[in-house]
A and B are shown apart, each in its own frame.
Chain A
Amino acid sequence: MTSQYDIAIIGGGNAALCAAMTAAERGAKVIILETAPKAYRGGNSRHTRNFRCMHSAPLGPLVDDYSEDEYFDDLLKVTGGKTDETLARLAIRTSEECLPWMEEHGVRFQPSLSGTLSLARTNAFFMGGGKSLVNAYYRTAEKLGVSVLYEANVTHLELDRDRIAQIDYTHEGEAKYLEPSAVIVASGGFQADTEWLTRAWGPAAKNFLIRGTPYNRGVVLADLLDQGVQSVGDPTQCHAVAIDGRAPKFDGGIVTRLDCVPFSIVVNKEADRFYDEGEDVWPKRYAIWGRLVANQPDQVGYVIIDSKSLKLFMPSVFPPIKANTLEELAGKMGLPQAKLVETVKTFNAACGDTSGFHPTELDGVKTIGINIPKTNWARPIDEPPFYGYSLKTGVTFTYLGLKVDENAQCRAEKGSIRNLWAAGETMAGSILGQGYLAGFGMTIGTVFGRIAGREAANHAS
């Protein structure tokens, strides 16, 4: 079958859409193959909230300026230097022209005064969040003549020497194939494939919750890696945060986050504390607790606070478990009662002068003389009613991905694959070796989506 399409794009999230619009604007006939049904289109991108953007002067909703070097330094801090500087700087530098481009393609941003104030300089917030961005892009793409096939699950890309010869996919229960002249992979990571996570992480991964889409199962990624396409990143690495233990297995998204840890003590199922709850402020603290909880028995943790802390953090999606005594709380949460009471007693006894308590900054209000200290916000848990949340590990994304060059092109051992490009989460490991910088996922997807779209269109024409 000779395909009527110049370019086939695998995936239907931010990176795919940016590639599709760019290629269509250059005259290419483009088809998007999205495995999800329409209601779930947009992958993890529909759960996002903002976009990190360099700018030399106030830009759209962004105030002041945010230079390339400052942005790059921020990236170095979270990745501990594990980044490809050329690609990272390319992403950062190009982000500045992306924001107006996004607006031209239908994205609307929140005015700068709303949202999280401390991010008003670095991150532009989407009005309505990522799903409204995805909706706007689908509208624009369709206007540009891009075809979209939902529930089209790509299973195999046939690599023939240095080019992709064929795409196999299933649609409406039938096996189908396409032979476009160019292919862009934008199908995300593999975090929704628990088997794969378990192979990489060990059995603990069975208890992980997946914060985003159930459709990013790494099918195409695995298929390409099997055929010798080069990869970057570490299969054992994933970005994980501690989220509400009652969250759904998939797709809980942003609302399942819990911001109460710094005002709490966190215990495991034996009612033992296991880490300094006051170590750092958001967002660092947010990211470390995913791993901490993953290393506890059954991969669960329990946050205990008392009534004086209840209003100090963002509202949570599920109401906390509430009890008038610690014994009752332990009972309701399935924790050993005597042990929890003892842990709290020991902790309370170690709290000192709390007059310097300050909820929004590192206040140095710490415990003295206990084995696992709490170095900030350490106040006794003593004012009933008491409240509790359970914690589980919530995976955001995986790091293993396709290695790309500055043109977003993929390579096999012998050199570039002539008609294969990758964009978004599926190649983000090329830039983000570890850690995560809020809003950078959308930056990578937008920048490399546009590059991939441009290159593929040039190739096809």
Chain B
Amino acid sequence: MQADLLQEARRQAEICNACRYCEGYCSVFPALHQERFFSDANLTQLANLCHNCRGCYYACQYTAPHEFDLNLPKALAEVRQDSWESFAWPAPLARRFQKSGVMIALATILGFALLFLAFRALGSNGGEGFYAVLSHSAMVAIFLPAFLFPLASIAVSLRRYWQETGGKTITPSQIVGAFGSAAKMKNLAGGHGDGCNFEDEDRFSQARRHAHQAVMYGFLLCFASTSAGTILHYIFDIPAPYPLWSLPKLLGIPGGILMVIGTVMLASLKLKADRSLGAPSAWGGEMGFVLLLFLVALSGLLLYVLGNTAAMPALLAIHLGSVLSFFLLTPYTKMAHGFYRLAALVRDEQRKSTG
């Protein structure tokens, strides 16, 4: 990891430790106050606990032009970003995608192209509906590895994270605690429940928390929808397309709508927020990723609405192409933050229980 970023985060953490005014805002401060000297591992853990709510920045009496020049959200964002890049496997890919919206766009286009090629080359094998465009077995042959590879990659990264931060054996209660924080986005609530300071300087607002919830729960619903489809297909031998009153649709449609709303909100909040309170170099990559998620969700919904029209094959290619790139990019984009965040929250539960 980059020594200068760690050194700057260390300098700032030491000032916060002498000050302690922000202790109530989020989990970062109680964890910080437990240290006196900050190892690289401490800083990595703090950085991954930080949700970039910016509460501490606007509350800080030491931000520029003060000579202490505090900007903790930025310092932690940069360490966090750098940690993901250095834990990711294979690493060189990570640097490309984490930082660049352009790379994400290129990957997505490549995803479409591959799918169009697959339509041509593999074809339907006489299936119906979507499978008239690409056979089910071909879809599985493409998407199963595209799904398993990111999982393997993330597993390697998380193991590295866990080793670096001195993680111990995980207990069920720690998992419950960590998922509880994530489910409510406790760390974006400002400690007082009024929300965070993201889009309009020091005004507290729930917008980012709600947008993030919409994306997260929307994504989980879509994921559940796909899983339900898989189960229906293999166990009950009911292949797609599914009617409106079916589990895949009942989960997938609200999920897709939530994701569309959430990603649009996140993108617009990102445009309003002060870029200098995050990792400026990662802005493009983060935005690219939000737009990719938007595309996944929107094309999925459109596919449902226009599935019986002539637009279907093109929409299918766009949807499957963006899903393909989404999966493949997961370990190297902002998507990875979810996994690190959970790991950091579990690690923080461990810290709390050892006191």
Query: Are B61 and A111 closer than 8 Å at their CB atoms?
Result: no
Chain B residues closer than 8 Å to A255, beta-carbon distance: 15, 18-19, 62, 68
Query: Are A135 and B58 closer than 8 Å at their CB atoms?
Result: yes
Q: Which of B24, B25, B60, B68 has the most CB of A within 10 A?
A: B24
Query: Are A128 and B25 closer than 8 Å at their CB atoms?
Result: yes
Interface residues of A (CB under 8 A from B): 39-40, 46-47, 49, 108, 110-111, 114-115, 126-132, 135-136, 139, 248, 251, 253-255, 257, 311, 314-317, 319
Query: Are B65 and A317 closer than 8 Å at their CB atoms?
Result: no
Q: Tell yes or no: B164 within 8 A of A by CB.
A: no
Number of interface residues of B (CB under 8 A): 30
Chain B residues closer than 8 Å to A115, beta-carbon distance: 23
Q: Tell yes or no: B202 within 8 A of A by CB.
A: yes
**Complex: chain B residue closest to A127, CB-CB:** B24
Per CB-CB distance, the 3 closest pairs between chain A and chain B, nearest first, are A129-B21, A128-B59, A132-B59
Query: Are B61 and A253 closer than 8 Å at their CB atoms?
Result: yes
**Complex: chain B residue closest to A37, CB-CB:** B65
Query: Are B61 and A131 closer than 8 Å at their CB atoms?
Result: yes
In the bound assembly, the distance between CA atoms of A439 and B66 in angstroms comes to 24
Chain B residues closer than 8 Å to A129, beta-carbon distance: 19, 21-22, 59, 61
B61 → chain A closest CB, angstroms: 5
Binary contact track B276-297/A, C-beta < 8 Å → 1, others 0: 0000000000000000000000
Q: Tell yes or no: B213 within 8 A of A by CB.
A: no
**Complex partner residue of A311 from B22, B36, B66, B67, CB under 8 angstroms:** B36
B285 → chain A closest CB, angstroms: 30
Chain B residues closer than 8 Å to A311, beta-carbon distance: 36
Query: Are B36 and A254 closer than 8 Å at their CB atoms?
Result: no
Q: Tell yes or no: B274 within 8 A of A by CB.
A: no
**Complex partner residue of A253 from B24, B56, B59, B62, CB under 8 angstroms:** B62
Contact sample, A vs B, 29 pairs, CB 8 Å cutoff: A39-B63, A40-B65, A46-B61, A49-B21, A108-B192, A108-B194, A110-B24, A110-B191, A114-B23, A126-B21, A127-B25, A127-B191, A127-B192, A129-B21, A130-B21, A131-B21, A131-B60, A132-B55, A136-B202, A248-B67, A253-B19, A254-B18, A254-B21, A255-B15, A257-B18, A315-B17, A315-B18, A315-B36, A317-B14
Chain B residues closer than 8 Å to A49, beta-carbon distance: 21
Chain A residues closer than 8 Å to B14, beta-carbon distance: 315, 317, 319
Chain A residues closer than 8 Å to B22, beta-carbon distance: 128-129
**Complex partner residue of B21 from A39, A128, A248, A316, CB under 8 angstroms:** A128
Q: Tell yes or no: B159 within 8 A of A by CB.
A: no
Q: Tell yes or no: B203 within 8 A of A by CB.
A: yes
A386 → chain B closest CB, angstroms: 17
In the bound assembly, the distance between CA atoms of A255 and B14 in angstroms comes to 10
Chain A residues closer than 8 Å to B203, beta-carbon distance: 139
In the bound assembly, the distance between CA atoms of A126 and B191 in angstroms comes to 12
**Complex partner residue of A110 from B23, B36, B56, B66, CB under 8 angstroms:** B23
Q: Which of B19, B58, B61 has the most CB of A within 10 A?
A: B61
Query: Are B24 and A114 closer than 8 Å at their CB atoms?
Result: yes
Extra pairs beyond A255-B18, A315-B18 (4, CB < 8 Å)? A108-B194, A131-B61, A139-B202, A314-B18
In the bound assembly, the distance between CA atoms of A224 and B66 in angstroms comes to 31
In the bound assembly, the distance between CA atoms of A130 and B21 in angstroms comes to 9
In the bound assembly, the distance between CA atoms of A115 and B24 in angstroms comes to 9
Interface residues of B (CB under 8 A from A): 14-15, 17-19, 21-25, 36, 55-56, 58-68, 190-192, 194, 202-203
Query: Are B192 and A317 closer than 8 Å at their CB atoms?
Result: no
Q: Which of A127, A132, A254 has the most CB of B within 10 A?
A: A132
**Complex: chain B residue closest to A316, CB-CB:** B18
B266 → chain A closest CB, angstroms: 24
Chain A residues closer than 8 Å to B62, beta-carbon distance: 253, 255
Query: Are B24 and A128 closer than 8 Å at their CB atoms?
Result: yes
B225 → chain A closest CB, angstroms: 40
**Complex: chain B residue closest to A39, CB-CB:** B65
**Complex: chain A residue closest to B201, CB-CB:** A135
Chain B residues closer than 8 Å to A253, beta-carbon distance: 19, 61-62
In the bound assembly, the distance between CA atoms of A251 and B36 in angstroms comes to 24
Question: A317 with B24: in contact, given A108-B192, A128-B55, A135-B202 (CB under 8 Å)?
Answer: no
Chain A residues closer than 8 Å to B67, beta-carbon distance: 248
**Complex: chain B residue closest to A319, CB-CB:** B14
B18 → chain A closest CB, angstroms: 4
In the bound assembly, the distance between CA atoms of A131 and B61 in angstroms comes to 6
Chain B residues closer than 8 Å to A251, beta-carbon distance: 61, 66
In the bound assembly, the distance between CA atoms of A372 and B66 in angstroms comes to 40
Question: A111 with B24: in contact, given A127-B191, A315-B14, A315-B36 (CB under 8 Å)?
Answer: yes
B124 → chain A closest CB, angstroms: 60
In the bound assembly, the distance between CA atoms of A39 and B191 in angstroms comes to 24
Query: Are B55 and A317 closer than 8 Å at their CB atoms?
Result: no
Chain A residues closer than 8 Å to B55, beta-carbon distance: 128, 132
In the bound assembly, the distance between CA atoms of A129 and B65 in angstroms comes to 19
Chain A residues closer than 8 Å to B21, beta-carbon distance: 49, 126, 128-131, 254
B26 → chain A closest CB, angstroms: 11
**Complex: chain A residue closest to B29, CB-CB:** A114
**Complex: chain B residue closest to A126, CB-CB:** B21
B68 → chain A closest CB, angstroms: 8
Question: A130 with B18: in contact, given A111-B24, A139-B202 (CB under 8 Å)?
Answer: no
Chain A residues closer than 8 Å to B68, beta-carbon distance: 255
Chain A residues closer than 8 Å to B58, beta-carbon distance: 128, 131-132, 135
Query: Are A130 and B61 closer than 8 Å at their CB atoms?
Result: yes
In the bound assembly, the distance between CA atoms of A367 and B190 in angstroms comes to 49
In the bound assembly, the distance between CA atoms of A257 and B22 in angstroms comes to 17
A317 → chain B closest CB, angstroms: 4
Chain B residues closer than 8 Å to A128, beta-carbon distance: 21-22, 24-25, 55-56, 58-59
Q: Which of B18, B25, B58 has the most CB of A within 10 A?
A: B18
B14 → chain A closest CB, angstroms: 7
Query: Are A47 and B17 closer than 8 Å at their CB atoms?
Result: no
A242 → chain B closest CB, angstroms: 15
Chain A residues closer than 8 Å to B15, beta-carbon distance: 255, 317
In the bound assembly, the distance between CA atoms of A60 and B19 in angstroms comes to 23
In the bound assembly, the distance between CA atoms of A39 and B192 in angstroms comes to 24
Query: Are A135 and B17 closer than 8 Å at their CB atoms?
Result: no
Chain B residues closer than 8 Å to A139, beta-carbon distance: 202-203
B196 → chain A closest CB, angstroms: 12
Query: Are B61 and A47 closer than 8 Å at their CB atoms?
Result: yes
B220 → chain A closest CB, angstroms: 31
A61 → chain B closest CB, angstroms: 10
In the bound assembly, the distance between CA atoms of A115 and B202 in angstroms comes to 23
Chain B residues closer than 8 Å to A319, beta-carbon distance: 14
**Complex: chain B residue closest to A133, CB-CB:** B59
In the bound assembly, the distance between CA atoms of A248 and B36 in angstroms comes to 22
**Complex: chain B residue closest to A136, CB-CB:** B202
In the bound assembly, the distance between CA atoms of A39 and B63 in angstroms comes to 8
A221 → chain B closest CB, angstroms: 24
In the bound assembly, the distance between CA atoms of A255 and B62 in angstroms comes to 10
B300 → chain A closest CB, angstroms: 40
In the bound assembly, the distance between CA atoms of A166 and B235 in angstroms comes to 86
